[in-house]
């Protein structure tokens, strides 16, 4: 069940502004969802020396697949920021952002919603800002899946055909069987992606439709999550008058944003270092073969600094951004940094060597990368997990993390920026922070279709009755 559609009655506090018309032409500015006491995410100054060294460059490629035009609205509900993008596909295969909005996350922890009211206010503000900029209002939205403890698993499905020709109905049935096999108590399948098919004893059939056989077999990659957590997300969105058009695994979205098709074919691991979690996506032979999530992110580094230096969270974030590094370098002992201490006197400052900040950051980054390596080894993916690593997300902007990851993971590493997209906010140097939201836009425009070459949609249409009809149709 990848498209939850149970919509509670709209509370009075979540009604649209009375000034908002029922339908708004794209050429006029609509009356939009209004921000409610949610401060804008401040622009944080970054050091000039942001470039990550020892990163393997990637040759530039041009998009070729024709995308759906849109416009589409997407929402990245993260632990540190909530980002809304409204964009469309261009004729040349690139993406264009028509409007963007983002706010600090409130009511969200490790990707899950813990306070409905605070999350609603932050989402309302981000979506309203994007709609104001785009002069477009969208009631359906694509969102990322990072809550509900997502799990990744492989299933082998065997379906009787009886000697006749395989058709679309058989493809839907074997996908539905994969969803039912993945279903455990309280969990819902979000993605059911085919890895390969077999027609009787013939292996490696990319699209079995039209073949005559007795049995159709498929190896499916299923990503599921806790149903209750998904319903809480939908409940919050319904308060902002939004329904879910599609839900996309966060690491899958990041991979669509920062990789090209050749990388996905040869084998690559995407490590998205977010604020509350670090997510992993492994691609091989053009398919997504594994995902994982680690409950450690940039927020943990910030809190380590705040605790170790007795300073505020805001000051710790500034110190991490301006003076932080994953590894010590020559001269760090001599470079002095001014730190404001917590206490009765707000003007109490001390000078410390930069090396002290780095010595706090290094163990946490080392722990994160060790956990990434452990998750890859536990997945037992073989050669699929031996390709290059692409770091993205806000945490990948930390100085020195590229060489450290290359050494600890024993793989080539590069920094991943969203590709073939125009109009992202902020400086291009910070675009890795928007990898998930850019990937959501790519999915909405059809870039994710390459993961399912058979064309059987992985996102089911909405509505309780419609889902019931689809279930009966696919099982009969």
87 touches 98 (CB < 8 A): yes
Long-range contacts of 465-471 (CB under 8 A, 24+ apart): 467/1, 467/3, 467/5, 471/176
- Predicted local distance difference test score (pLDDT) of residue 17: 38
CA-CA distance, 139 to 396, in Å (whole number)? 33
12: helix, strand or coil: helix
Domain boundaries, the chain: 151-225+461-475, 304-360
Per-residue pLDDT of the chain (476 residues; tens, 9 = 90+): 444 443 343 343 333 333 333 333 333 344 445 444 444 444 443 443 333 334 444 444 545 567 788 799 999 998 889 999 999 988 888 899 999 998 888 888 877 888 889 999 999 999 999 999 999 898 899 999 888 788 898 989 888 988 899 988 888 888 888 788 777 767 888 898 888 899 988 888 888 898 999 999 999 899 988 888 888 899 999 999 999 999 999 999 999 999 988 899 999 999 999 988 999 999 998 899 999 999 999 999 999 999 999 999 999 999 999 999 999 988 889 999 999 888 766 678 899 999 999 999 999 999 999 999 999 999 888 787 788 999 999 999 999 999 999 999 999 999 999 989 998 887 777 888 999 999 999 999 888 877 765 555 544 434 443 444 444 444 44
Specify the fold of 304-360: Actin; Chain A, domain 4 (3.90.640)
pTM of this structure:
0.80
CA-nearest of 79, 195, 68 to 144 is 79
CA-CA distance, 63 to 46, in Å (whole number)? 31
CA-CA distance, 330 to 47, in Å (whole number)? 17
Q: Please tell us whether the domain made up of 151-225+461-475 is placed in CATH 3.30.1490.110.
A: yes
CA-CA distance, 320 to 266, in Å (whole number)? 35
Cβ-proximal residues to 330 (8 Å cutoff; 6+ apart), any chain: none
- Predicted local distance difference test score (pLDDT) of residue 226: 87
Q: Do domains 151-225+461-475 and 304-360 have the same CATH topology?
A: no
CA-nearest of 435, 399, 376 to 319 is 399
Question: Is the N-terminal amide bond of 462 cis, ω within 30° of 0?
Answer: no
CA-CA distance, 314 to 156, in Å (whole number)? 49
- Predicted local distance difference test score (pLDDT) of residue 114: 87
- Predicted local distance difference test score (pLDDT) of residue 353: 94
């Amino acid at each position: 069940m990848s498209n939850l559609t149970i919509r509670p009655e709209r509370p009075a506090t979540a009604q649209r502004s009375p000034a908002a018309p029922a339908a708004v032409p794209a050429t006029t500015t609509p009356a939009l969802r209004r921000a409610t006491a949610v401060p804008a995410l401040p622009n944080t100054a970054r050091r000039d020396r942001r470039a990550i060294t020892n990163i393997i460059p990637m040759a530039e490629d041009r998009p070729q697949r024709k995308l759906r035009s849109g416009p589409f609205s997407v929402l990245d509900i993260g632990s540190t920021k909530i980002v809304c993008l409204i964009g469309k596909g261009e004729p040349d295969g690139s993406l264009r952002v028509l409007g963007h909005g983002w706010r600090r996350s409130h009511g969200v922890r490790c990707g899950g919603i813990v306070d409905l009211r605070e999350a609603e206010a932050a989402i309302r503000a981000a979506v309203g800002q994007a709609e104001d900029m785009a002069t477009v209002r969208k009631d359906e939205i694509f969102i990322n899946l990072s809550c509900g403890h997502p799990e990744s698993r492989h299933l082998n499905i065997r379906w009787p055909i009886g000697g006749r020709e395989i058709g679309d109905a058989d493809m839907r049935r074997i996908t539905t069987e994969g969803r039912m096999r993945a279903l455990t108590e309280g969990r819902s399948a979000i993605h059911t992606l085919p890895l390969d098919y077999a027609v009787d004893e013939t292996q490696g059939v990319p699209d079995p439709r039209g073949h005559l056989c007795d049995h159709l077999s498929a190896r499916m990659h299923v990503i599921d999550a806790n149903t209750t957590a998904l319903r809480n997300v939908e409940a919050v969105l319904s308060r902002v008058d939004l329904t879910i058009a599609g839900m996309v695994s966060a690491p899958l979205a990041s991979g669509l944003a920062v990789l090209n098709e050749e990388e996905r074919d040869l084998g690559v691991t995407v490590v998205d270092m977010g604020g509350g979690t670090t997510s992993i996506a492994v691609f091989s032979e053009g398919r997504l073969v594994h995902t994982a999530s680690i409950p450690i992110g940039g927020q943990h580094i910030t809190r380590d600094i705040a605790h170790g230096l007795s300073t505020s969270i805001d000051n710790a974030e500034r110190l991490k951004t301006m003076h932080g590094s994953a590894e010590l370098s020559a001269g760090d002992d001599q470079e002095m940094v001014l730190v404001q201490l917590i206490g009765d006197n707000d003007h109490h400052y001390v000078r410390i060597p930069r090396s002290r900040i780095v010595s706090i950051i290094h163990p946490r980054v080392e722990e994160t990368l060790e956990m990434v390596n452990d998750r890859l080894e536990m997945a037992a993916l073989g050669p699929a997990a031996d390709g290059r690593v692409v770091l993205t997300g806000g945490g990948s902007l930390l100085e020195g993390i590229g060489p450290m990851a290359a050494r600890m993971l024993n793989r080539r590493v590069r920094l991943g920026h969203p590709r073939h997209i125009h109009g992202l906010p902020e400086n291009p140097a910070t675009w890795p922070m928007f990898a998930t939201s850019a990937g959501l836009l790519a999915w909405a425009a059809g870039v994710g279709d390459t993961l399912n070459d058979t064309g059987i949609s992985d996102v089911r249409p909405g509505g309780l009755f419609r889902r019931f009809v689809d279930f009966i149709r696919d099982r009969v």
